[in-house]
Every structure is written in C-alpha cells, then in structure tokens.
Amino acid sequence: MRRIVAAVLLSLFLSLLVAAQTAHRVAIRAGKLIDGRGDKPIENALILIEGDKIVSVTPGGSAPSGTEVIDLSKSTVLPGFIDAHTHVLLQGDITAEEYDEQLLKQSIPYRAILAARNAHIALTHGFTTIRDLETEGAMYADVDVKNAIANGEVPGPRMQVATRAMTPTGMYPLLGYSWELKVPTGVQYVDGAEGARKAVREQAMYGADWIKYYSDRRYHFESDGVLHSMVNFTDEEAKAIVDETHRLGKKVAAHAIGSDGIAAALRAGVDTIEHGDGLTEALMDEMAKRGVYWVPTITVGVYVAPGRGGSWEKMAALERESFSKALKKGIKIALGTDAGGFDWKKLNQAKEFEYYVQYGMTPMQAIRAGTSVPAELLGWGDKLGTIEAGKWADIVAVSGDPLRDITELQRVVFVMKGGTVQKNELK
Ligand SMILES: [Zn+2]
C-alpha cells in the first residue's frame, strides 16, 4: 500500500515538473504600464508571463535568460478591457424593423456565425472579456459562442452570458403580427412567481451565468421632469427571479431605464442596473448604499437617439447629468456599451471610455471602470482587471498616452489574452 502511495506521489511530482518546464514563458517590456492599481503609470516595466498567468511585474527589471521578450517599450500597456454589456447575436437595431428583420429572416446558426465574428471584433479592439446580456431571440447560442471561444476553436473574449432574458407575456418584441402567425420572441416570456423560478432554473441548466430581466418599458417624461416608465413584472415575480437566481449562486442584471423600473429592480434586489438613464438622487443613494453596480451604456444611447426620436435625445442628455451625480455619490460604475444595439462593424465600443471622461471621470477612473470594476462585477476580481502577479495575462497596448487623450483606447495595437498574443501591429 505504502509503495503504491509513493509511486503515485512520484508520478504526480514528475508530471508537475514536466508542466513547469513546458509552460511557455514570455516577457513584455512596457514603456509605460497602467497596471490598474496605482494612480500613476510605471515607467519601463517588465511583465513576466508563464502559461496563461502573470508571474511578476517589475519596474526596470530584466527578463530571465532565454525568455522571449515582446517589445512594447514605445507603448502604453494596460489590462485587457472588459465590456459588461454586449449582444454578440445582434447587429444593431435603431429601428424596430431592423430588429424584426434579424429575428424573422436570419436563422440562429447564421446569427451565431455573425456572433463569432463580433466576438473577434471585440477582441481586436482590446476587449478580452465581455458579459453578453442576452441573445435577442437566438435562444442559447451565446453559450455555444462562449464555449467555442473557451475551447480555442474561434478567437474571442472570455464570456459570461445571460442566455434569453425575461419579460412577462407580451412585453417585448416581436409584437404587432397577426395572432395567426407564430413569430419568434426576443426574450423568454415568464409569468407568475412559480414560472419565474422555473425559467431561472431552465436558463441556468442550459448555461446562463447571469439572469437578465427587463424591469421596464415605455419610457416617458412627466411634469415632474423625471423619466418614468411602465414596470413589467409584479414585485412578487421580480423577487422570485432574483431569489431563485441567488439561490443558484448566480447574479441578476436588470434592464431599467425609467425611474419606476429602476426602483422596482432595486426593490427586487438585483445586482446590476443596465442603462439607468432615469436615476433620481434617492435611487442613486440606494444604489451607493447597497453597492449595486450601474452599467450606463452611453455609447448606444447617444448612437440610437437621432434615429429613434421621441424622448431618446432627452434621455441621452439626462444620462449625462445622472452620470456626474453618480460619480460624486461613489456609485460603482462598470463600463458597458450595449454593442450589438449598434452595429459592431460601425463603431468601436472603446468609445465608451471617451464618454466617461467627457462626462466627468478622470482618464484613470475611466480605465478602472473598464477593467478592475467590471472584473469585480463578474466575480473575477482575483483573476482579471489589473496587471499583477497571479492574474490572467490579459494585456493590451496603445501607441500614445491615454491619460492625455482617452481616444487612444480606440486605437489598440496589441492584444494578449491568457498569455497568447491575439494582435500585434508593432511587429
Ligand atoms: Zn442591451
């Protein structure tokens, strides 16, 4: 018996030894390193990477002999970006027609192919991680895209996915078609507290990392100057969604634009508020107190407003006001763009950083909003979001200085994900 144990231990030791020897080592020489922790960049830093993880970060420092060195000495190096709100299965929907056409005329396999392309676009723009917040009628195809990337079959960011999202019956498109037609639905219709619990279990069974639900619709300004909305679920239903999700160890994202929808989502106990244009002072205080994240998605709001008309222009202006107030109140703001709500090919989602600086963040705050803050939101604060020993080697670089010009982040020249170079324009 003792001999068997010794043999097992020896073979374990040998296999560890082999693994240590075969793990690929590479070093990055960074002209300037914004590690996502300190307030100032580190000049001339050496990042040592082994396999998919960062081993050490040293100012000055030289690479161990025989280690391949990637020369980024003329660049600014940062943690890989994180977009906490995307739709890889959507190709822009400024109008209802654009949305309906995708669901009616494109098969889910075709949409999944475009999703793989979109994931690659995100990666080349420096987004090494995304939280994809529902498939808009493409069922569980986000789980397949995520798995194909994780298995190394196609290039793309790390993903957490929400699968189908939820509203009660009749509160999300496709709508307005003859009752004689069976048309696809952009979300899963869910009714009653028991129905809510069952839907959460079903989505979790098929691979949802997050549960998303639509807290409201029909956004409108009233005489009090506040952006109001119609709340979708009863409190009992929304609480059942949140309770069941938390029971399964997962988290809830709520689409909530008007003040009524935000208030209802906070009553239900959600973890993140998406969009949040109609945030009032009282709602912001509540979010700050409870540590609920705000994912503002400014890029999409500004982009779709001219094409949508109605209250959308005023909503985009209101969100700018809310943003500076939220910043003063210390709300946790995580970068999210709603890419897919705009065409992935037409707009670089890193534009969101630019809005945050325009709306009152320092460039360093904006960078954290797109790196360490969403890493925590995803529950990956110990693995992602900063460049330090022990974390996954998700690293990007730009040629200029983003602390002087935040639009530099829209011109990423180098991308590494998990220690593998995905893009290098400096070679
Ligand atoms: Zn969205």
List of residues 6+ apart from 23 with CB closer than 8 A: 50, 51
Distance 165 CA to ligand 1 centre (A): 10
**pLDDT reported for residue 19:** 52
pLDDT tens for residues 389-420?
999 999 999 999 999 999 999 999 999 999 99
121/349 Cα distance (integer angstroms): 10
Distance 222 CA to ligand 1 centre (A): 25
Distance 14 CA to ligand 1 centre (A): 49
On the question of pLDDT at 54 being above 90, the answer is: yes
On the question of pLDDT at 1 being above 80, the answer is: no
- What would the mean pLDDT of 30-35 be, rounded to a whole number? 97
**pLDDT reported for residue 8:** 58
Structure tokens that stand for 287 in this block: 């979010």
Distance 61 CA to ligand 1 centre (A): 44
Confidence of residue 308 (pLDDT cuts 50, 70, 90): confident
- Min mean pLDDT across 145-154, 191-200, 271-280, 315-324 is at 315-324
43/284 Cα distance (integer angstroms): 38
The answer to whether the pTM exceeds 0.75 is yes
Distance 223 CA to ligand 1 centre (A): 28
Distance 34 CA to ligand 1 centre (A): 29
pLDDT tens for residues 333-374?
999 999 999 999 999 999 999 999 999 999 999 999 999 999
- What would the mean pLDDT of 292-305 be, rounded to a whole number? 93
Distance 351 CA to ligand 1 centre (A): 16
Confidence of residue 311 (pLDDT cuts 50, 70, 90): confident
DSSP per position, 285-320: HHHHHHT-EEE--HHHHHHHHHHH-TTHHHHHHHHH
Distance 274 CA to ligand 1 centre (A): 8
pLDDT tens for residues 230-289?
999 999 999 999 999 999 999 999 999 999 999 999 999 999 999 999 999 999 999 999
Distance 338 CA to ligand 1 centre (A): 5
The answer to whether 371 and 37 have CB atoms below 8 angstroms apart is no
Sign of CA dihedral 112, 117, 118, 122: positive
Distance 133 CA to ligand 1 centre (A): 6
pLDDT tens for residues 99-153?
999 999 999 999 999 999 999 999 999 999 999 999 999 999 999 999 999 999 9
Confidence of residue 10 (pLDDT cuts 50, 70, 90): low
